[in-house]
A and B are shown apart, each in its own frame.
Chain A
Amino acid sequence: MFPPISLEILVLALGFILLLAESFSNSTNKRGLAHIAIFCLGWIFAISFFTAPTPATIGAGSYWNFYSGDGVSLVFKRIALLTTIGVLVLALDYEAALAKLLPSAHVGAGTGEFYILPLFTCAGLMLMASAVDLVMAFAALELVTISFYVLVAYARRSHASLEAGVKYLILGALSTGFIVYGITWIFGLTGETHFTKVAEKLAHLRGDDTAILFAFLLILVGLGFKVAAVPFQSWVPDVYEGAPTPVTAFLSVGSKAAGFLLFLRVLEPFLGVHSILPKVLQVLALVAGATLIFGNLAAMPQNSLKRLLAYSSIGHAGYLLTAIACIGAGGGLLLGVGATVGYYLFAYMLMTLLAFAVLTLVSVNSKGEEIQQFNGLSKRSPFLAFAMVVAMSSLAGVPLTAGFYGKFLVFAQIIQAHHWVLLSLGVITVGAGFYYYFRVVAAMYWHDPQETAPITVAPLSKITISLLIAAIFYFGINPNPVLSALRTSAPSVAAAAH
């Protein structure tokens, strides 16, 4: 049995080795790097099942003060590994388009780091899953964010990509400032950075609540940016559209998962402070409702699928925030918010990767990312069209897909909390979701194709897409494997609310 930290070390080592190999090899074909990375990540994923969960012990004096290798963190580590594998497969498909946007002498010459940087993002995500200390969490979050800064602006000859990179960098730095400031306030109030100790101190803090509320707000703002919550979502459409498509996929899955995980962790100490609980929940509900409405309504008139998925990503953040906003409002929660959010993120990973995988293949073959490019896809590639139907159905929440079950859990949470306003907002926005997701389906099956050339799908992509489809159905029918893994030692968020 390996200690959980070995997984992060392996991923980081893999990243460094590949970086070195890339710089010292003369080969202009970098695809081998991606294949090695995928292969090794697969092995690390397998190794993750042979690790012994080791919860953090406070005061042990080693890194255990910062790091918890419990069961839930292992689930999130696996999600991070799978996401990265998926993104690398997409990156391979995207190579043809990317190569043209790089200032290099040979085709495909500058693509090496494009396959390697996601490994560092992955390591950051995995560390974040285990972080039990504010300092550690922040360091992990920035490891994720900084590698994203590079990846977003990777297509250097594309104005859109550069513009997206600059916007993401500056606004990201702004949000980071808020998080750091928030952490400072928490430290100033409690003198601690470990989550458990912060929770203890906060619960027994006497005096004015305003300082605590201010600290909470600062963290909310910073993480609201990461998860694309209204009103901190303004960067999302531009950055998603400008970034290379595989990076967009990674952003919308990885960045969001990291943000929500950290959000749940940081929220926990604040929920222990009973005097501010109503206000915290009120603000959360407000942000959640605004995010739901904005994401889903603004998605409706979009013509670019990439932009549509950007708004849909905001919409999904809305459902996740809704679940969190219902955290302590009513007793007897069905599952606990931790498991609900965890399952939703898992389902979101599957369906978003699938949608972006199809989008990548279609856009590389059709020179565009508009919904029009999907016209008549059922004739050009029935396989891709079917995959897209599955992705869209799952995103919209059709029963027997993983996405449905995620929404089901969220709605169960809302109903338990008797939060009728959020419930009606949720129902309306799900309806809106059906409208814009199925526009894509309609285009694929009911419109004549603009181009008729069939799209060929590489074997690796075909396997990945098939696995994603199978997983969406499997976990939509039988969610228990994921749920039970999440429940075994779910973060005691729900318990803290009482």
Chain B
Amino acid sequence: MESTLPWLILLSPLASALLILLFAHRSKALSVLLSLSAVFLALGASLLLVKNATDTLTSIPWIDLGPALKLGIGLKVDALTRVMLLVVTGVGTLVHVYSTIYMADDEGKSRFFGALSLFMFSMLGIVLADNLAMMFIFWELVGVSSFLLIGHWFTKESAAKAANKAFLTNRIGDFGFMSGILLVWSTVGTVEFAGIQENLTKLTANPTFLTLAGLCLFCGAVGKSAQMPLHVWLPDAMEGPTPVSALIHAATMVAAGVYMLARIFFILEPSATALGVIAAVGAITALMAALMATQQNDIKRILAYSTLSQLGLMVAGIGVGAWGASMFHLFTHAFFKALLFLGSGAVIHALHHEQDIWKMGGLRKTMPKTFLTFAIGTLALTGMPFLAGFFSKEAILLAAWHKSLPVFAAGLLTSLLTAFYMTRLVVVAFFGHARTDAANHGHDCPAGMTVPLLILAVLSVIAGYAGFAEAIFGKELFHHVHAAAPVALVPILALSAFVLGTLGAWILYHPAIKDPAVFKDAYRIKDPVRIPLFANKFYIDEIYHALIAGTQEMLAGFLGWFDHFILDGVIVRGICAITWGAGYTLRLLQFGNLQGYAFFFGAGVVVLLYILTK
């Protein structure tokens, strides 16, 4: 029983995906039913696993070519897995339910739910994998299914482009990940986590090599968890349907990188250089993404940059050695960020696909339930005391305080900025007067959408408390969460960052939206703070564009030359000539028909005889 549950969790979404794509795609209702039952089954099994809290490892042999290459399909369940399973299936279930309403009138509903099931399968595969090779396969599958989901509205050019961008950017990171796996495998001779841990001395014998392997593996996380400099795909991925953003780009797929780092932390730990790089990348991402978020006007993009920033914080947490705290933050963040995305989805749904916060306003009164839950999510994210985010963020900051002050400072500044931009979002979108007709006719959505919001809101409140979290994490893992010695100054500083950020945004934006005289071009109020550098995301997209365009031009020129003269001229024509020559020779032999063939046959015998006996 214990060992069949993981298989049930993994295979039920796969079965659903296959059934939908092969047979049920003509019936929307059947597709939804299949997908929902699969995810509920997975959730139920995950809950049972958490309740029983026993570690299991089941593996069936897959590729067995002697000692040189042996691979199994193995499912590993330990405390870390259970936490992730609960996050993925929990948020997944709510998103499935929410999507039944959100995507109600969509033509591609069956396709959507098929892809959603495929995504659940791939994501659960990453979580349950007991070896790096399997993790990599599912890693790629996640890439494929997220490509399908981001590009769900593929007739829209921006969505198709965003899907491509996400997929290609991830591929860069995945290449590093693959190299890392090969490096580890070449020294240790196995890709199973347990096997690597046993033979870790083989890796640590050469510190430079270890650092290289660790950093290559980290590349995978940089891609999937959208860290600098590969963060560019995540904001664009908001082109996908909002439930997808909540599931993939807030709670699960982007968290896969952090989870992977926590899983392989024992490989990273011996290399101070690797950890230093990871901490730096995380801290820079956290800070820069927070700065960019302060100047965005699209409700989903603000949340996207906020996700980037929080992921940066988690990665920085890994970098300072607090992988337990990072997992804790991943856990709480999954709930309140999914809540915020689903809340924004409710707003977008009610306002007929209006995403500009300046064209909203006054939603506090027209969408009270949405406002309430959104506010809870915001407070949990910004670090309001006694809500989930406060506890988990503080755990990371505390670890950083002990290990590296620059990282701590970056984290603190990020917290302040987070409070600032989230308050800005809430004030502009929910307070004041409705600035458009659509906003005026806002309304709370049907129960199928609000119930998930309420559940997530409750979780956003309680997820941080030791009692609740410990029940899910288990004693041993929870010990890692609060490994660092408490320092009184840290919570005080965190609290002041929260207060400063919130107050600052309130003072700046509340008067601005109150004053109807400042309307500018078509409902757009003049933003009291204007920093083009942040609004344009540090021009990184433009720089990449220029870089890629430039190198592409050069490369294309060179390749064109190479293609024309070397490939076409020498190789292809050469091969062509040889092939045609051979064909011509054969045709010559065909003149004599059989005699020709028999002659050819005999000539072959003579040549072989000569070679054999010379």
Interface residues of A (CB under 8 A from B): 166-167, 170-171, 174-175, 178, 210, 213-214, 216-217, 220-221, 225, 230-232, 234-235, 237-238, 279, 282-283, 286-287, 294, 297-298, 300-301, 332, 334-335, 409, 412, 478-480, 483
Contacts and interface: CB of A to CB of B under 8 A. Distances in A.
Nearest to A335: B65
Nearest to B576: A301
A282 B607 CA distance: 13
Contact of A279 (B65, B586, B597, B612): B612
A294 B613 contact: no
B603 interface: yes
B579 interface: yes
Contacts of A479: 63
Give the 9 A-B residue pairs with the shortest CB-CB distance, closest first.
A231-B604, A334-B65, A234-B597, A234-B600, A213-B612, A297-B579, A334-B66, A221-B605, A217-B612
Contacts of B603: 231
Contact of A234 (B61, B575, B589, B605): B589
A301 B580 contact: yes
Nearest to A296: B579
A210 B579 CA distance: 36
Contacts of B69: 334, 412
Contact of B608 (A221, A294, A301, A483): A221
11 contacts: A166-B594, A170-B594, A175-B601, A213-B612, A214-B612, A217-B612, A231-B604, A237-B586, A301-B579, A334-B69, A480-B62
A429 B533 CA distance: 53
Contacts of B66: 332, 334-335
B582 interface: yes
A478 B598 CA distance: 44
A297 B575 contact: yes
Given A214-B613, A298-B582, A480 B601 contact: no
A95 B414 CA distance: 75
A174 B598 contact: yes
B517 interface: no
Nearest to B597: A234
Contacts of B61: 480
A185 to B, nearest CB: 13
A468 to B, nearest CB: 17
A255 B384 CA distance: 77
B105 to A, nearest CB: 28
B178 to A, nearest CB: 14
B198 interface: no
A286 B141 CA distance: 41
A409 B65 CA distance: 9
Interface residues of B, number: 34
A344 B16 CA distance: 33
Interface in B587-614: 589-590, 593-594, 596-598, 600-601, 603-605, 607-609, 611-613
Nearest to A400: B137
A235 B612 contact: no
Contacts of A166: 594
A283 B612 contact: yes
B373 to A, nearest CB: 43
B601 A171 contact: yes
Contacts of B63: 479
B583 interface: yes
Contacts of B578: 297
A8 to B, nearest CB: 32
Given A213-B613, A221-B608, 12 more contacts: A174-B598, A217-B605, A231-B603, A234-B589, A234-B596, A286-B611, A297-B575, A297-B579, A298-B583, A300-B575, A478-B62, A480-B61
Q: Is the interface of B mostly helix, strand, loop or mixed?
A: helix
B609 A234 contact: no
Given A217-B605, A221-B608, A480-B61, A334 B68 contact: yes
A459 to B, nearest CB: 18
A410 to B, nearest CB: 12
Contacts of B607: 231
Between A213, A234, A297, the greatest number of chain B beta carbons within 10 A of the residue's beta carbon is seen for A234
Contact of B601 (A220, A231, A412): A231
Contacts of A238: 590
B64 interface: yes
A231 B576 CA distance: 20
A60 B608 CA distance: 39
A480 B611 contact: no
A374 B605 CA distance: 39
Given A214-B613, A231-B604, A298 B579 contact: yes
B613 A210 contact: yes
Nearest to B601: A232
B584 to A, nearest CB: 11
B594 A167 contact: yes
A42 B463 CA distance: 60
A442 B579 CA distance: 22
B600 A217 contact: no
B612 A221 contact: no
A232 B606 CA distance: 12
Given A166-B594, A334-B68, A283 B611 contact: yes
Contacts of A282: 611
A175 B612 CA distance: 19
B597 A235 contact: yes
Interface string B48-85: 00000000000001111110110000000000000000
Contacts of B583: 298, 301
B64 A174 contact: no
Given A231-B604, A335-B65, A297 B582 contact: yes
Between B61, B601, B613, the greatest number of chain A beta carbons within 10 A of the residue's beta carbon is seen for B601
A238 B605 CA distance: 21
Contacts of A216: 612
A95 B608 CA distance: 43
A412 B586 contact: no
Contacts of A287: 608
Nearest to B575: A297
A300 B586 CA distance: 15
Given A214-B613, A221-B604, A232-B604, A171 B598 contact: yes
Contact of A283 (B575, B580, B600, B608): B608
A287 B612 CA distance: 12
Contacts of A286: 608, 611
Contacts of A234: 586, 589, 596-597, 600-601
A171 B65 contact: no
B342 to A, nearest CB: 35
A175 B65 CA distance: 37
Contacts of A174: 598, 601
Contacts of B597: 167, 171, 234-235
A237 B63 CA distance: 36
Nearest to B582: A298
Contacts of B65: 334-335, 409, 412
B304 to A, nearest CB: 33
B600 to A, nearest CB: 5
Between B61, B586, B589, B597, the greatest number of chain A beta carbons within 10 A of the residue's beta carbon is seen for B597
A36 to B, nearest CB: 33
A412 B605 CA distance: 31
B612 A171 contact: no
Contacts of A409: 65
Interface string B125-141: 00000000000000000
Contacts of A237: 586
A220 B62 contact: no
Contact of A170 (B575, B579, B589, B598): B598
Interface string B418-438: 000000000000000000000
Interface string B344-355: 000000000000
Nearest to A282: B611
A279 B609 CA distance: 11
A235 B590 CA distance: 10
A69 B586 CA distance: 43
Nearest to A428: B575
Nearest to A479: B63
